Amino acid sequence: MALFPAGPLALTALARPPELTWRVPGSKSITNRALVLAALAEGESRLEGVLHSDDTRHMRAGLEALGIRVEDDGPTTLVVEGGRSRLRAPKEPLFIGNSGTTVRFLAALAALVDGPVTLVGDEAMSRRPIQDQVDGMRQLGVRIDCATGCPPLTVHGGKLPVGSVSMPGGRSSQYFSALMLSGAGAEGDFEIRVEGRLVSRPYVEITRRMVADFGGRIDEMDGGFIVRRATLRARTYAIEPDASSASYPFALAAATGGAITVPDLGEGALQGDYHFVDALERAGAVVVRSPTGTTVRGRALRGIDIDMHDISDTVMSLAAIAPLAKGATRIRNVANIRIKETDRLAAVAAELERLGQGVTTTEDSLAVEPRALLPAIVKSYADHRMAMSFAVLGMARGNLAIEDPSCVAKTYPTFWQDVVACYRAAGTPAPF
């Protein structure tokens, strides 16, 4: 049962540096990709280590409404009875909350559904752009109604034609992953061309590897990719811990001088956000990597200048502990985080300023000059990563409260239980 303390949640500083093993739940990104691939693979797939969160529940509910059978087989295992032949137009619009992966992946999948599929989200989703993907799908001949460039949208499907798609690479890699995930069911091979530099490239590599694991194939070409028509195969698939979520215990160890081990996430990790530990290493932490897990041990933090273009979901994890570093921290090339659950660049700057820090932003960068921390209630902006990142700072220094603790349900519903376990390990009464 998830624990969601009432907000604002005042956090006290840990009495001593924590030393513990912190088990992180399964990857949201991998869970939602695996659900789509299992839905398209003929037969029964077993997905092990799945994350149960708001985002993955929206994906599951959407697939079930499209005719895919999904059943629980234990606390973190799902059995998916898939196959394109099972897909059917839903009776009602699919509600996808504020889940970016769900709306983008299901929009592409809807092209394979015979009939109209409408995707509608919450108020925040109605401001999240999807025009680049809509334009790309229209280039293939898919009919889509999308009045504002943001959800809601209606896809009039039946087939995914072949041809060539060209989309800007600088806003979201999910547009590319969406077409790759459903591309095996297209009428034939098709090209996806990248205009400019592709943001969060490691997430596209996750997609390519997972498509191959289910029997598909996506080749790289000069300036983009070729998605091959294929028959996907049902299988058992293990989902590794979420590397973005692991950034919080890793950052906490670095910020406090503690030692925290995240098991089952180590050398050979599928997710690019695992390389957040490289950033912590540059900032002074000691990182021990093995095939079975990773340990971060904190030492005196120093500010760094870093391009986080490829690991942009961990920007806030580094920014939130930047006030504890000696010297300024500069994070560059992350304009794409302005179109996430909130404008994350503006949000993190505002909250660091509320905490008394010297902050400078540009369209694609953030610089933090450490100053004395002021007590404050940190606004969450309905963004799970804002709440969890600044919780790390609160545990390290205290005198900080999280406005909306419940928003962590989007990707990490058990976060606060794990925080309580960390307080206990550090010999400190939990503040809630």
Residues designated catalytic: 313
The rounded distance, in Å, linking the Cα atoms of 260 and 239 is 21
The DSSP call for residue 112 is G
**3-state secondary structure at position 429:** coil
Q: From 139, 291, 307, select the one nearest 224 (Cα to Cα).
A: 139
List strands edge to edge, sheet with 115-120: 94-95, 115-120, 153-157, 143-145
| Bridge partner list, 70 | 80
Angle at 393 between CA 31 and CA 22, to 5 degrees: 45
* Secondary structure of 211-269 as H, E, C letters: HHHCCCCEEEECCEEEECCCCCECCEEECCECHHHHHHHHHHHHHHCCEEEEECCCCCC
Residues in the chain, how many?
Answer: 432
One-letter amino acid identity for 214? F
For residue 384, CA distances in Å to 106, 213, 292, 387, 410 come to 22, 30, 27, 5, 6
- Other CB atoms within a 10 A radius of the CB of residue 236 amount to 11
Q: What is the CA radius of gyration of the chain?
A: 21
Q: Check whether the bond before 161 is cis (ω within 30° of 0).
A: no
Sign of CA dihedral 97, 99, 100, 106: negative
Task: List, in order, residues 6 or more apart from 262 with CB less than 8 Å away.
Answer: 21, 22, 23, 24, 241, 246, 249, 250, 293, 294, 295
**3-state secondary structure at position 5:** coil
Q: Check whether the bond before 152 is cis (ω within 30° of 0).
A: yes
The DSSP call for residue 53 is S
Angle at 339 between CA 315 and CA 253, to 5 degrees: 15
> Which residue, chain included where needed, has tokens 């050979």?
268
Sign of CA dihedral 269, 271, 274, 275: positive
One-letter amino acid identity for 53? S
